[in-house]
Structure 1
């Protein structure tokens, strides 16, 4: 049975229908947070994620969004306003998790302008302008978590463009924390290491050689799993961590120390 009170926090998670976003949604639901998740194409997958959240006793809604298409943001904000009013009788939500993304593995010398633009649109421009568009809907005292990558600290060939976008997100996070501080909004960034999901074609999960190499370079001796990341993000949105602000939290098990 779903239970919601006027004080139940609501989180918006982009790309929350799969991978780390889905894991984060479930971790937040387990700690008493209702969820609005976005998906790009797979409505069935999103509906399944909503059902999992509801099974934990929380309220959840899935909305379609392409974070790389800024022209669609006004319509998305309208759909979110309607969903908040219909399902929660509220005008604002509490937590924003900018999670949606995709990976490109391409040597610097072979990276095309099209690939670069796709990465910019989703991982940086989309984060920048979606957050901007959502500011009126984020409650004062709320929190934002942006997703970066361990690749913004250490370098592996083939990720120059992707990592550069994540480096931009890390700088943006500090600026958001500074400019939104007067509203009591805390902004942090979580930087996962290599995680065994379908991200980037599932290479970390499915390629034994890659998996073994990463494990050998990680202090804890294995690659990361989604369950290693969702709870970290959820912890930054939990009571008791409100004094953590403008920080980069790397969750990599100690890669490349």
Structure 2
């Protein structure tokens, strides 16, 4: 087995695979030889699955609202019915909501927790019985779990919860031979971020300056890390949080902020 087929013969279940970082993960897993079954809240993901199939990959799609326990259950049942065994689960889907700490709406708090945290617990719980020894779970967190800013208290709280939950999950699932890790991206060049840059090109320089190598992550880079974490190449890694943000969260502050 070579680096290009490290997921050959494996079935990977992925949430939020039709856009943003999830689309990068879906492509990377397919390119590494996996069968990928992914969901998105809207049916736009079907076109993405068709695109992957057009490239010769085995990709299937289903609409799923991960804030809904019933929808999660249906997605898990469909995965098990279609594939039997699930070798990798990547809980990627989530929402970002920014707001003033003192006036943050309860409805937004509930949406953040049900989408970002509860969904991971429920989908993992539902799929573990179909995951054989040697399988892996990757929960996508964020560098906000270790370094955040005002206005993101509730979002950062959900990402910190994902990281903490995953550390315990590594021990619970380890008894079954299943690894569990978090992947924490930072600023990533998704479609939405690129649209912002296109509208204000001067932001590109500022965004680059926030990173150690003067560049920020692409969805393909994050996808490659996720594919590695569900592959046998990362067998020794469990209970870990892999921050993939080009050094963004590693800096205390920039020099120009000290002047």
Q: Aligning the two structures, in what range does the TM-score lie when normalised by the shorter sequence? A: 0.7 to 0.9
CA contact (8 A) 1:26 1:52 kept: no
1:87 equivalent in structure 2 = none
Does residue 160 of the first structure (1) align with residue 153 of the second (2)? Answer: yes
SS at match of 1:102: coil
Q: In structure 2, how many angstroms separate the alpha carbons of the residues matched to 1:104 and 1:74?
A: 25
Query: Aligned-pair distance for 1:82?
Result: 2.9
Query: Aligned-pair distance for 1:248?
Result: 0.5
1:110-157 residue CA offsets vs partner (Å, 9 max, x unmatched): 311011000000001111112112221222220000001111111222
Structure 1: stretches of 5+ with no match in the other structure: 1-6, 85-90
Query: Structure 1 residues 32, 177: CA separation in 2 closer, same or farther (over 3 Å shift)?
Result: same
Segments of 4+ moved more than 6 angstroms: none
Q: In structure 1, how many angstroms separate the alpha carbons of the residues matched to 2:179 and 2:119?
A: 20
Query: Structure 1 residues 254, 110: CA separation in 2 closer, same or farther (over 3 Å shift)?
Result: same
Query: Aligned-pair distance for 1:169?
Result: 0.3
1:64 equivalent in structure 2 = 63
Does residue 223 of the first structure (1) align with residue 216 of the second (2)? Answer: yes
1:189 equivalent in structure 2 = 182
CA contact (8 A) 1:197 1:205 kept: no
Q: CA RMSD in A?
A: 2.0
1:97 equivalent in structure 2 = 90
Query: Aligned-pair distance for 1:28?
Result: 0.8
Aligned 1:37-56 pairs, distance under 5 A: 37-41=38-42, 43=43, 45-56=44-55
Structure 2: stretches of 5+ with no match in the other structure: 1-7, 252-259
Does residue 172 of the first structure (1) align with residue 171 of the second (2)? Answer: no
SS at match of 1:184: coil
Query: Aligned-pair distance for 1:202?
Result: 5.7
Equivalenced residue count is 243
Q: TM-score, normalised by structure 2?
A: 0.87
1:169-225 residue CA offsets vs partner (Å, 9 max, x unmatched): 001111111011111101111100111224589657755465443322211112322
CA contact (8 A) 2:76 2:126 kept: yes
1:149 equivalent in structure 2 = 142
SS at match of 1:221: coil
